[in-house]
Structure 1
């Protein structure tokens, strides 16, 4: 009987330890994405603009533009979370940042299925969607930036949606 009590005690200790580790992991993950209440950057304009390629099976997407009035020297903008994706911010000029969110066509790629071991070598792996750690509305994004050596996050709301750009179709070449 004493051995059964000892095993029950060990199981309880193991369960409590495991629960502590799991809780610690979730607490650490949640705290690492804390959105700041204030940001030392003044925004001039933040807007998104969709675009569509003019060719058959061409891509389409949305560009997110972030115009600043000023950017302090100690702050480095690096990426943005928008429309369920995370993208690196491109610095177009000292006060303009751009993120490109491409949408792929829904056409399925050709896949080679074979019982020969090397015939399927050229098949591409399927793209798996990424999970972003923020719940965002369509007119919201979160900027990831470094303030000195510390990573911070700031939410922008009320993003303006400008009219889409429809690129023209290339004219047919005559032979």
Structure 2
């Protein structure tokens, strides 16, 4: 009887701890109102633009985004209000190759791949945001390429 009780308590504790770490459910409701999300290619890689129509700054913080197999922090644009930008380095820019390693010092390596916690298509991204001090995820869809 004691063994059954210990086994039951052990399974309960295991389930309890496992459920705490897997709170990565996709949110159905957007943390803000978004305009058309788009991306462009430049000499360094990809820039993803997330225009926000309205957001509750005191409750919601847009932190990062997963896109095209990489993760990048979202930064608020200094030029345009309510525009967030993520930069993904592809390593396609000019690189200095020389026998002298000191001349190669300024080269930036391409960004490492980082899998999204959810399966996404090429026109989708996973937005990582903080709301009421909890990390949450939202899927952005219909992302288009602009020139």
**Structure 1 and Structure 2 fold alike (TM over 0.5):** yes
- Counterpart of 2:73 (choices 88, 91, 104) is 88
- Counterpart of 1:39 (choices 22, 30, 37) is 30
**1:18-77 Cα deviation digits (max 9, x unpaired):** 9x84x766654443x2110002411122101112x3xxxxxx311100111111131111
Correspondence 1:74-85 to 2 at 5 A: 74-85=59-70
Q: Where does the alignment leave 5 or more consecutive residues of structure 1 unmatched?
A: 1-8, 54-59, 111-126, 164-175
**Would the alpha carbon gap of residues 128 and 153 (structure 1) be closer, same or farther in structure 2, given more than 3 Å must change?**
closer
Look at both structures and tell me which one has the larger radius of gyration over its CA atoms. 1
Q: Where does the alignment leave 5 or more consecutive residues of structure 2 unmatched?
A: 99-110
Shift of 1:132: 2.7
The match for 2:84 is 97
How many Å separate the matches in 1 of 2:53 and 2:20? 34
> How many residues matched?
125
**Would the alpha carbon gap of residues 26 and 98 (structure 1) be closer, same or farther in structure 2, given more than 3 Å must change?**
same
Q: Considering only aligned residues, what root-mean-square deviation do their CA atoms show, in Å?
A: 3.2
SS of 1:45's partner is coil
How many Å separate the matches in 1 of 2:113 and 2:66? 14
How many Å separate the matches in 1 of 2:16 and 2:75? 35
User: Are 1:147 and 2:131 an aligned pair?
Assistant: yes
How many Å separate the matches in 2 of 1:25 and 1:84? 29
Tell me the TM-score normalized by structure 2.
0.69
SS of 1:65's partner is strand
